[in-house]
Structure 1
Amino acid sequence: MVPVLTSIMLDTRRALKGGSFPVRLRLTYQRQRRYYNTSYSLSEEAFAKVQAEKPKGKYKELQIAFQAIEQKAIGIIRDLDVFTFEQFEKKYLNAAAKNDVFTGFEQQVKKLAKEGRVGTASSNESASFSLLSYIHKEPITRNKGLSRAKAIEKRETLLKKRKPLAYSAVTVDFLMGYEKWMLQNGSSITTIGIYLRALRAIYNNAIADGEVNAALYPFGKRKYQIPSGRNVKKALTLADIEKIFTYQPALESEARARDLWIFSYLCNGINVKDIARLKYKQLDEEKITFIRAKTERTSRQNMKAITAMRSPEIDEIISRWGNKPAFGDAYVFPLLEPALSAEKERAKIQHATKTINKYIKRVAAAVGIEKNVSTYTARHSFSTVLKRAGAPIELISESLGHSNLRTTESYLDSFEDNVKKQFAAQLTAFKNVGK
């Protein structure tokens, strides 16, 4: 049997824009040659460095990537009963589709949507769209001002003209370039972190499925480390929280939003989604017990029930705004209806959050609070007020439903200035020494 010869070569017959040349897989069989595109293009000098006996840095990464492409082709050839270029191409193109980052994102989005995790699915869509924009150097990293239909239309337009993005092309240099481009386009470190963690998850899936060589993995120590933005401290002082408690709302909508913000603050910083899902059967005479929707799927083997102690203020809010009658399977607050689809539930929760934020900002402005107050502020204020009162960080962590103390520490704001002054005074309290 005549052998099929494979090689990775630099096609110098026609230069690309910028002076580089396409890197291609070449197959030779019975004196016939065919060439197959890869997602790489290099200068002649760079390609020579990749071909060196002991390349270093990014050239070593490229050598491993090229070897993986060739080994994939050799595996396909080996599995064919009879070799023909047509049969090879059919299987090679199918393998290339599995090796495409965007295909991985599409599969992940479908999976998440099927599980009802529409928020995470949407985040993955945004990450995929952002990467598409980077590859095409489109200044579209955010969808603010765009309807969902328009955003999808823009993404589909890019998809039509894009080439597959091989996992092997996602190198340390690629990720560094993406991060720089995102920052230049006005994205925050937090957004970059969210998108790249989604990409890392897709990459991990591909490795687990045997589609990608683990040696190509670009994340981790001494490789690319995903940036994490330091939380901007959002907690209010106890004096400012008192102003919100004692404020006299002018409108019913303002009163309801203010009360739901207070309910969140008093119930361990419970978020709006969990408030909306709260049912009367989760309330007993002394406490409210719930599991954060955010951790239902990520911690299924060790789900933490959060306990918030009932207080007269909490009971008054439930009495004012709660559903009547108060039977076990009824939602406590009229924010959701039974049997909603995941998409409709998410839309209602987003609307409720937007409404609360709109009115709590008005309340904050009316009482002279200069900070940007939102539903998220209630959670940070709950944890920070407990810290300032001397509560153990373990108690705060348990109350928030965190799995580790490091997460809790990122929530906690610094001490107020008057507390710092009290302790600073101890540095020169010489007259008290020995007494």
Structure 2
Amino acid sequence: MNGVTTSVILDKRIQKKDKTYAVKLRVTHNRIQKYYPINVFLTVDEWEKVHSEKPRKTYKDHLLYFNEVELKARAVVKEIHPFTFTAFEKKFNQAPRSSIDVFSAFQSYIDDLLKEGRASTSESYLCALNSLKKRQEAKRRKKLNFWDVTPDWLKEYEKWMVAEGKSRTTIGIYLRSLRTILNNAIAEGHLDRESYPFGKRKYQIPASNNKKKALTIEQIGQLVKYEPQNKYEAKARDLWLFSYLCNGVNVKDIARLKYSSISNNKIHFYRAKTERTSKHDLQEITVVLLPEIEKIIDKWGVKPIESDTYIFGIISKDDTPEQELAKVKSAIKSINKFMDRIGKNIGLPFKPTTYFARHSFATVLKRSGAPTEFIKESLGHKDLKTTEHYLDSFDDDFKESFQKKLLNF
């Protein structure tokens, strides 16, 4: 092979503080040796386990990666006539898929989200990126190539997240973020369609647990009748009820409501979640201004009333997307804190967070006989399946009442 030899070795010349050494690709030509790092660091004991007769788990992953690196190096060497280290380095480093990896693609996508003002979504992707980096660090790998993400790798990553105490919901969020990055990589030519690891007969993202997140109409009645012990409880309870009565509007959308959103005895708004992602067919959500809703606005709304003023003063006009996100998160934290106290005071067996308000709106309507299509429109969902996830399962008493109707001869 042009008088060139290649091998992956443990470079013991410099030991790190954690007792590891860099694993490197060694290329030898005319008795001259050059070493190229491959972003893996191992102890002597770990190196020996990688090269044991039957390496397992992480050690087997390392061995496969080392073999892949050496095969790639040999392929590059064969293309160089006459061989020079300069030509090798240029071609080896510029070989397809070497200039960009999963981590850099994630960061680029996060930067784009921030430029678009989508701070909340960017934060979610950053959490996924940090999780992936932590997993690779545990395997003593600093890089994650697109082609490393195989169905087996994804299964192993899922198991690792479970061991880390992550919920099925969180696991699903992280993996859907990774799936988006891989889809983008295919569109940009960094990954072959054949190497795509998601889908039937490959890897399927686990569905989240469908836990009950809705209050009964009786429990909501308890919240309405509750006498707050201070103004913080009063505001938290009222904003929770505002969300419930206004089609389950989330706190971010409550924060973005202006007095100009009110006209003809109705509140009109678009969900922030879909406003930036849906280019066409944006669905306006309309809420009838019930006396109970108007009372909450009169009590907590910012004065003086001006059309361009945010109703509840949670955010301000000059906020950056990052500042807006921080203020919304602070508002959610405050509401949940005092709703937890209220829930305990009235004997609820769970914390009635802001998330419960949205699910309660959908479930109470469903149990009242409202068509799912109407609930879908009210929530601002495009897909009926999304709406169905919001609807709480029916309890035994409800099922029994309908079963008894089978005997109403």
Q: Give the TM-score band, short-chain normalised.
A: 0.7 to 0.9
Whether 2:206 is the aligned partner of 1:205: answer no
Distance in structure 1 (CA, Å) of the matches to 2:365 and 2:338: 26
- Letter of the 1:308 partner, please give it: V
Q: 1:184 maps to which residue?
A: 163
Given that residues 218 and 224 in structure 1 are in contact (C-alpha distance below 8 angstroms), is that contact kept between their aligned partners in structure 2?
Answer: yes
Q: 1:358 maps to which residue?
A: 337
Residue of structure 1 aligned with 2:357, choices 378, 383, 397: 378
- 1:136 deviates by 2.7
TM-score (norm: length of structure 2): 0.82
Q: 1:126 maps to which residue?
A: 127
- 1:162 deviates by 4.6
- 1:419 deviates by 2.6
Whether 2:152 is the aligned partner of 1:169: answer no
- 1:348 deviates by 0.6
SS of match in other structure, 2:317: coil
Given that residues 77 and 88 in structure 1 are in contact (C-alpha distance below 8 angstroms), is that contact kept between their aligned partners in structure 2?
Answer: no
- 1:12 deviates by 8.0
- Letter of the 1:364 partner, please give it: G
- Letter of the 2:218 partner, please give it: A
Farther-moved stretch of structure 1 (398-407 vs 97-106): 97-106
After TM superposition, list the pairs within 5 Å mapping 1:90-129 onto structure 2: 90=90, 92-93=92-93, 97-129=98-130
Q: Which runs of 4+ in 1 moved over 6 A?
A: 3-7, 12-15, 22-35, 39-42, 44-47, 80-83
Measured against aligned partners, the alpha-carbon deviations of 1:306-337 in whole angstroms (never above 9, x if no partner) come to 11111000000011111122221111111111
- Letter of the 1:137 partner, please give it: A
Distance in structure 2 (CA, Å) of the matches to 1:66 and 1:175: 19
Distance in structure 2 (CA, Å) of the matches to 1:351 and 1:375: 13
Residue of structure 1 aligned with 2:373, choices 361, 376, 394: 394
- 1:427 deviates by 3.5
Distance in structure 2 (CA, Å) of the matches to 1:371 and 1:10: 59
Given that residues 237 and 416 in structure 1 are in contact (C-alpha distance below 8 angstroms), is that contact kept between their aligned partners in structure 2?
Answer: no
Whether 2:230 is the aligned partner of 1:251: answer yes
- Letter of the 2:261 partner, please give it: Q
SS of match in other structure, 2:394: coil
Q: 2:399 maps to which residue?
A: 420
- 1:45 deviates by 7.8
Given that residues 171 and 218 in structure 1 are in contact (C-alpha distance below 8 angstroms), is that contact kept between their aligned partners in structure 2?
Answer: yes
The gaps in structure 1 that reach 5 residues or longer are 16-21, 48-57, 139-160
Q: 2:296 maps to which residue?
A: 317
Distance in structure 1 (CA, Å) of the matches to 2:82 and 2:189: 25
TM-score (norm: length of structure 1): 0.77
Given that residues 234 and 377 in structure 1 are in contact (C-alpha distance below 8 angstroms), is that contact kept between their aligned partners in structure 2?
Answer: yes
Distance in structure 1 (CA, Å) of the matches to 2:78 and 2:287: 63
Distance in structure 1 (CA, Å) of the matches to 2:325 and 2:355: 17
SS of match in other structure, 1:382: helix
- 1:213 deviates by 2.2
Return closer, same or farther for 1:265/1:82 CA change in 2, 3 Å cut-off: farther
- 1:390 deviates by 0.5
Q: 1:142 maps to which residue?
A: none
Return closer, same or farther for 1:206/1:34 CA change in 2, 3 Å cut-off: farther
- 1:38 deviates by 5.8
Return closer, same or farther for 1:180/1:306 CA change in 2, 3 Å cut-off: same
Measured against aligned partners, the alpha-carbon deviations of 1:82-133 in whole angstroms (never above 9, x if no partner) come to 9743244245435565332211122222222222222222222221221222
SS of match in other structure, 1:136: helix
- 1:405 deviates by 0.7
Distance in structure 2 (CA, Å) of the matches to 1:407 and 1:6: 58
- 1:68 deviates by 13
SS of match in other structure, 2:208: coil
Whether 2:314 is the aligned partner of 1:335: answer yes
- Letter of the 2:154 partner, please give it: L
Return closer, same or farther for 1:208/1:263 CA change in 2, 3 Å cut-off: same
Given that residues 134 and 178 in structure 1 are in contact (C-alpha distance below 8 angstroms), is that contact kept between their aligned partners in structure 2?
Answer: yes
Measured against aligned partners, the alpha-carbon deviations of 1:116-171 in whole angstroms (never above 9, x if no partner) come to 22222222222122122222328xxxxxxxxxxxxxxxxxxxxxx85322111111
Distance in structure 1 (CA, Å) of the matches to 2:276 and 2:210: 24
Whether 2:259 is the aligned partner of 1:280: answer yes
SS of match in other structure, 1:300: coil
The gaps in structure 2 that reach 5 residues or longer are 13-21, 41-46
- 1:382 deviates by 0.1
Return closer, same or farther for 1:71/1:407 CA change in 2, 3 Å cut-off: farther
Return closer, same or farther for 1:388/1:67 CA change in 2, 3 Å cut-off: same
Distance in structure 2 (CA, Å) of the matches to 1:14 and 1:248: 70
Q: 1:260 maps to which residue?
A: 239
Distance in structure 1 (CA, Å) of the matches to 2:245 and 2:339: 16
Distance in structure 1 (CA, Å) of the matches to 2:267 and 2:378: 12
Farther-moved stretch of structure 1 (347-356 vs 194-203): 194-203
- Letter of the 2:99 partner, please give it: K
- 1:397 deviates by 0.5
RMSD: 3.6
Residue of structure 1 aligned with 2:208, choices 215, 224, 229: 229
Distance in structure 1 (CA, Å) of the matches to 2:166 and 2:373: 34
Given that residues 362 and 391 in structure 2 are in contact (C-alpha distance below 8 angstroms), is that contact kept between their aligned partners in structure 1?
Answer: yes
